[in-house]
Amino acid sequence: MDAYDSILVSDSNAGVFVDGDLFVYQANRTITGDETELFSGEVLEYFKAENGKAILYGSHSRFFTDSVYSQATGSVETFRVYLPEGYFDEGNAERYATMYLLHGINSQSTTFAIDKVDQLLDEAIADGTIEKMIVVIPDDPTKTSFWKGKYGDMVSEDMLQAADARYRTIADARYRFTAGCSMGGGGAMSLGLFKPDQFSGVISFYGALNYVNAPAQAQSLSKEYLDKYAVYMTCGNMDSYNFYEVQEEMARVLQANGMDMNRFTHTVDNGAHDSIYYLPRFIEGIEYVTDRMSAPQGASSILSGNAVLENNAVRYSISISPSVDEYLNVIPASEYTINPNPDLDIPVQVVVRQNGKTIADMTEHYGVHEETVIEDAAALDLSDLNPKEDYEISVYASVLNETVLIENIQKEGHKQCVWDKKYTIDQPATADQDGSKSIHCSVCGEKKNVTVIPKVSNISLTPSTVTYIGGTYNPILVIQDSAGRIISPKYYEVKKPDGRKNVGTYTYTISFKGEYAGTVEVPFEIVPVGTVLTVPSVKKNSITVKWISQSMKMKDERISGYQIRFSTKSSMEDAQTVDVDGYKSSSTSLENLKSNTWYYVQIRTVMNVNGQNYYSSWSLPGIYKTCWSW
């Protein structure tokens, strides 16, 4: 064992909750030795309170907590996953059968952790009683759904798809089965027996079969259909809910419909409705069902192929022989059968390893039903790879429970970099963030001379507002970076709007390229021609303001009118405004003014274009004094 000068254990997102007579401590734990991460994951530790002390009941870190957004329920749902010993061993590409284990009423997935079913599984796998498998343990958020309706779909659709995508399961109904206790036993039957496209085995421990109407539903099932299944049922003769009665009814239905007596078993033994009853029979039930779910052997014989590395992608070609039809699953027709002839799932896995560590791991699933060739490529993320050290790329293809190593590509690290002569843009700059560029090694992609590309900081059109002149307006475009430097036009393209003659708003579209990326729109305005004030007529409480009417035609539109503002302050603070309609107007009266008072007056033209007013600049102010009051 490696020696470290210091070991640091750090827990985050910790919580304590009560589960029956136990206290459960759950946290995300990270263990580091001399700043090297040794472990990162969830821990579950169970304690009992005895004599005023917390006594450790057990650690169940073999269970992994996961979650999935469920389309069925419309929310994120949790589940636990048991992965067998050796799942993460280097070079292991084995795929496993999956058991969906359902908890009982008013319970949750932690019940099976408390019952230490992981230890039962470990021991049974180690002594060869059962094969290695993956176990998915969903949580029913209501704790009372009996795994019906949307909560059944949550398991059989959403969680099943997530498990097949995230873990090395065998995505075939012949390698999936359900199990559960009480409410979970009823759910295991209603999901397992009546979803033949997804499952072919059922284990019911004192199952609430009447709550899911299982015996009545099974009445329509044919012998051909039932003989695709393996069913294990058991219940205690002291069951508080008398579930042994409905279990016996279910057994009679299966027998009456001709199900092979070697494919289902039904026992009623001494015991009650509790963990003490099911735990001694837990492995027995798994052994019974999995022994009868076996698919054809030698399926890997239909696979052959090769793979090559091209740049940072692995291109592979997988041939499927004509014998594929011997391994297809044929599901008898029934009211529950969706696809009687499903494709055979062929997962292709590409793994990159270096120094015993997995650098990249990706899997693509392909459905086949006849002789064919799968040709595809997997783009590799080698950002964690040390290019100066050797590494290997392994390509696997699987069919049912057999996996074939298609290709093992050995790559040597290089000792000396060959540097490009030109910079490579690693991240173009935008208006929101800096970019970067560097010199790359043409062999491994290592970088040097990393240089920041300052972000785009200022884009301006000068002037941004111009008075109508009758010709096309071309404002001056200036683009600067955050360091205040002008950005060269070679890094952007400008799309100018049509027209740019008449009064209105126009937008330049700037599309960046090269060291920069993104698109920015910059508007400018063309405003109408203004006018000037002429000699007014002044009275003691009013001023008749006069101006030169602006009759110039601007394209097809004339100005809409004028706006006057006036104030006793030269700054025009607290100015009042008066609007005058009509381009022919040339005067208006400002009433209710103070006598013997100086007023500052300005005027501007206004034009309405498509419902928006555009104003000229204000004229020079006229300064007028009202008369004395006698």
pLDDT bin (cut points 50, 70, 90) of residue 30 is confident
Residue 93, pLDDT > 70, answer yes
Residue 469, pLDDT > 60, answer yes
pLDDT bin (cut points 50, 70, 90) of residue 436 is very high
Q: What is the pLDDT of the chain when averaged over all its residues?
A: 91
Helices 275-291 and 117-126, interaxial angle, to 10°? 40
- Closest-CA residue to 545 (of 603, 597, 593, 502): 603
Residue 120, pLDDT > 80, answer yes
Residue 42, pLDDT > 70, answer no
pLDDT bin (cut points 50, 70, 90) of residue 624 is very high
CA 581/CA 199 separation, integer angstroms: 81
- Closest-CA residue to 504 (of 402, 586, 611): 611
**Residues 487 and 458: beta-carbon distance below 8 Å:** no
Least confident of 55-64, 189-198, 502-511: 55-64
Tokens of 132: 């290695």
Quick count: other Cβ atoms within 10 Å of Cβ 307? 22
Res 50: pLDDT = 65
For residue 361, the surrounding DSSP H or E stretch is strand 357-368
Does residue 216 come out as left (phi exceeding 0), alpha (psi in the -120 to 50 range) or beta?
alpha
CA 328/CA 345 separation, integer angstroms: 9
Quick: pLDDT tens for 573-613: 999 999 999 988 999 999 999 999 999 999 999 999 989 99
Res 388: pLDDT = 82
pTM exceeds cut of 0.85:
no
Rounded to the nearest 5 degrees, what angle is found at the Cα of 484, between the Cα atoms of 481 and 489? 50
pLDDT bin (cut points 50, 70, 90) of residue 61 is very low
**310-332 mean pLDDT:** 95
CA 319/CA 302 separation, integer angstroms: 8
> Which residues does 242 contact at the CB level (< 8 Å), separation at least 6?
none
DSSP string, 228-257: T-EEEEEEETT-TT-HHHHHHHHHHHHHHT
User: 312: helix, coil or strand?
Assistant: coil
Residue 71, pLDDT > 60, answer yes
Task: Return the beta strands (E) in 428-539 as ranges.
Answer: 435-441, 447-453, 456-462, 465-467, 476-481, 492-495, 504-512, 519-527, 537-538
Tokens of 349: 């896995």
* 514: exposed, middle or buried (Cβ count in 10 Å: 0-12, 13-18, 19+): middle
CA 452/CA 434 separation, integer angstroms: 7
**Residues 442 and 489: beta-carbon distance below 8 Å:** no
Res 279: pLDDT = 97
Residue 26, pLDDT > 80, answer no
pLDDT bin (cut points 50, 70, 90) of residue 495 is very high
**178-203 mean pLDDT:** 98
Half-sphere exposure (Cβ direction) of 340: Cα atoms closer than 13 Å: 6
Res 471: pLDDT = 85
| DSSP bridge pairs for 33 | 7, 36
| DSSP bridge pairs for 405 | 396
Task: Return the beta strands (E) in 88-243 as ranges.
Answer: 97-102, 133-138, 176-181, 201-205, 230-236
* Top-confidence range, 53-67, 192-206, 290-304, 462-476: 192-206
Rounded to the nearest 5 degrees, what angle is found at the Cα of 319, between the Cα atoms of 314 and 322? 165
Residue 253, pLDDT > 70, answer yes
**134-148 mean pLDDT:** 96
> Which residues does 26 contact at the CB level (< 8 Å), separation at least 6?
14, 15, 16, 17, 42, 43, 44, 45
Quick: pLDDT tens for 542-561: 999 999 988 766 555 688 99
Give me the amino acid identity at 401.
N
pLDDT bin (cut points 50, 70, 90) of residue 48 is low
